[in-house]
Amino acid sequence: MADIALLKQLGKVVNFKENQTVFMQDDEGDSMYIVLKGTFGVYINSFSSFPIRVAEVRQGSFFGEMSVIDGWPRSATIVSEEEGAALAVDMSNLGLLLDKAPEIADSLLNTLRDRALKTTAAVTESGIKTQEMPQILKTAKHHDSKSCIAFLTMLAERVRDMNALLAAPEEQQTPPKAQAERKEEVLELLPDGYVPFNIRDENDNRSMLHVKKYICPYCNKETQEATPVFSALKQQSAALDGRVIYKGFDILRYTNIICHNCNYTDNYQEFGKPRSQHTPTDFSGNQFNNKENFTGYVDALSHTVDEAIKSYYLNIACLTATTESPLRIAKAWIRLYWLYSDHGRGELERQCAKRALHNYKRYLDKNEALILANDMLRLNATMGELCIALGDFETAKVYYSNTANIRGVSDGDFVKKCKSRLNEIKKMR
């Protein structure tokens, strides 16, 4: 590692408390961090939309370099998992850092080259056609800061391009729907016969929520919402259908962001992403008006079950109007299914499970050749669990049997759980 005294001339030492979020995935960023002390966890939004820990960064290594190199939003969330410290190096000092600490320059090149090669290989293995990585990027070395930054930028672009191909295959085939004109339409959110729960979350959730400003992808106006800080949550259990339960916090009630200008609603991990091909130039009013007059949560820190349910139905209506993504729609239905199942509404549970399964099937039919092994494993397990909820044990056995035939899976523990679940299903009647 480069001399600490030298590095401190190029950046600022930042101290972090245990379980403190450094930055969130999709945040803007203009600094990279070199770890001086402690362990930092790297989290990404998973297939089930719950964040998962994919790596850790320790003393002498770095994180946040991608945004500094190419100016794009953060590609992951970083959490300090113990008391620690890191040197924050501003984008404007990147050239000086590379010149004065050539070992860091070499480490950056090696790290990004390795990521680019791995993501390119994953794209090729998944059957997606892409150009081979240029030879000059495979052999790039540090000579001076100017050429090094040029190589780093090209490698970062390569990594992001490959990750985009892997992460969202369906978007390549079906573009989002054009912006919907909904000024005259009034949505009916709640199903016939719905009986209110009148259950409020009485927990003090201030430490588990983060108030953040967002730009609505529908009306392009600013809105503000309190969303979960998953680094503050303690996992209690995880199910084969992708659901994660946290201690003392019902994340299902705090998942959706509702734009206070137009009522557009989406999952907090998806809200900032574009949903339509164009934005109306004369936008005005509530484009997603609804019969229930639901325009968001009354109390940011204490949501009710009924508010959460309305937000999911509004989320589904918004997605149906603005995107062709069956996967995102399926995720909304399955979250609503989990919420109903927590409170014993059998028929509503079945309706949601049925619609979630239908959209997961649509997603699988469109993208089977492009879905990565670990995602295919979880998709089959999720669909198997939904079949069980619907009493279709024979089809559930088929989905769980499929999990044994998926090649390239890295999660051996999940495979064992699937095998055990298959044995259980065989005994179900």
**Alpha-carbon 391 to chain mean position:** 30
Region 50-56 average pLDDT: 76
Q: What is the pLDDT of residues 392-405, one digit of tens each?
A: 999 999 999 999 88
What pLDDT was estimated at residue 44? 77
Q: What is the pLDDT of residues 296-335, one digit of tens each?
A: 998 888 999 999 999 999 999 999 888 878 998 999 999 9
Computed over every residue of the chain, the mean pLDDT equals 85
CB 41 within 8 A of CB 47: no
Is residue 193 domain-shared with residue 276, that is, in the same domain?
Answer: yes
Is residue 129 domain-shared with residue 224, that is, in the same domain?
Answer: no
The answer to whether position 288 is within a domain reads yes
What pLDDT was estimated at residue 131? 81
What pLDDT was estimated at residue 338? 96
Region 121-142 average pLDDT: 80
pLDDT reading at 183 higher than 80: no
Side-chain-side CA neighbours of residue 72 (13 Å):
15
The answer to whether position 426 is within a domain reads no
Region 124-140 average pLDDT: 80
The answer to whether position 417 is within a domain reads no
Is residue 260 domain-shared with residue 352, that is, in the same domain?
Answer: yes
The answer to whether position 399 is within a domain reads no
Tokens 């085939």 identify what position? 173
pLDDT reading at 350 higher than 90: yes
Is residue 147 domain-shared with residue 187, that is, in the same domain?
Answer: no
Highest mean pLDDT out of 95-99, 287-291, 389-393: 389-393
Is residue 85 domain-shared with residue 208, that is, in the same domain?
Answer: no
Domain boundaries, position 18: 4-167
pLDDT reading at 277 higher than 60: no
DSSP label of 11? S
Is residue 152 domain-shared with residue 34, that is, in the same domain?
Answer: yes
Of residues 310 and 214, more confidently modeled = 310
Q: What is the pLDDT of residues 142-177, one digit of tens each?
A: 888 888 988 888 888 888 888 777 665 554 445 556
Q: What is the pLDDT of residues 222-251, one digit of tens each?
A: 888 888 877 778 888 889 999 989 999 999
- Sequence-distant (6+) residues with CB within 8 A of 336 are 309, 312, 313, 316, 352
CB 359 within 8 A of CB 332: no
| Pairing relationship of beta strands 40-45 and 77-80 according to DSSP bridges | antiparallel
H helices of 178-304, in order, are: none
Identify residue 321 by its one-letter amino acid code: A
Q: Residue 401: which of 386, 415, 390 has the closest Cα?
A: 415
User: How far is the C-alpha of 336 from the C-alpha of 329, rounded, in Å?
Assistant: 11
Is residue 144 domain-shared with residue 284, that is, in the same domain?
Answer: no
Region 195-200 average pLDDT: 94
Which CA distances in Å does 404 have to 76, 365, 371? 30, 19, 16
Total count of domains within the chain: 2
Of residues 114 and 44, more confidently modeled = 114
> Quick one: tokens of 178?
């054009």
Is residue 139 domain-shared with residue 204, that is, in the same domain?
Answer: no
- E strand spans, 256-335: 256-258, 265-267
Region 188-192 average pLDDT: 92
Which CA distances in Å does 81 have to 42, 53, 163? 10, 11, 26
DSSP label of 261? T
**Coil vs helix vs strand at 61:** coil
pLDDT reading at 294 higher than 60: yes
Q: What is the pTM assigned to this prediction?
A: 0.73
Residues in the chain: 429
Is residue 159 domain-shared with residue 273, that is, in the same domain?
Answer: no
DSSP label of 101? -
Q: Residue 272: which of 336, 223, 330 has the closest Cα?
A: 223
CB atoms within 10 A of CB 157: 16
> Quick one: tokens of 234?
């303690």
The answer to whether position 407 is within a domain reads no
User: How far is the C-alpha of 356 from the C-alpha of 349, rounded, in Å?
Assistant: 11
- What DSSP line would sit under 76-132, residue for residue? SEEEESSSEEEEEEEGGGHHHHHHH-HHHHHHHHHHHHHHHHHHHHHHHHTT---PP
CB 21 within 8 A of CB 2: no
Is residue 116 domain-shared with residue 216, that is, in the same domain?
Answer: no
Please give the backbone phi and psi of residue 180, each rounded to the nearest 5 degrees, phi first.
-90, 135
Q: Taking every pair of C-alpha atoms in the chain, what is the biggest distance, in angstroms? A: 71
The CATH number of residue 153's host domain is 2.60.120.10
CB 29 within 8 A of CB 73: yes
What pLDDT was estimated at residue 346? 86
The answer to whether position 420 is within a domain reads no
Give the residue from 124, 149, 167 where a domain finishes. Answer: 167
pLDDT above 70 covers what percent of the chain? Answer: 89
Give the residue from 147, 167, 187 where a domain finishes. Answer: 167
| Pairing relationship of beta strands 12-16 and 84-90 according to DSSP bridges | antiparallel
Of residues 282 and 95, more confidently modeled = 95
Q: What is the pLDDT of residues 35-46, one digit of tens each?
A: 999 999 888 766
Is residue 187 domain-shared with residue 320, that is, in the same domain?
Answer: yes
Tokens 């961090």 identify what position? 33
Give the residue from 136, 167, 198 where a domain finishes. Answer: 167
The answer to whether position 46 is within a domain reads yes
> Quick one: tokens of 6?
């030298």
The answer to whether position 386 is within a domain reads no
Is residue 354 domain-shared with residue 219, that is, in the same domain?
Answer: yes
pLDDT above 90 covers what percent of the chain? Answer: 38
**Coil vs helix vs strand at 213:** strand
Region 86-90 average pLDDT: 91
H helices of 240-304, in order, are: none
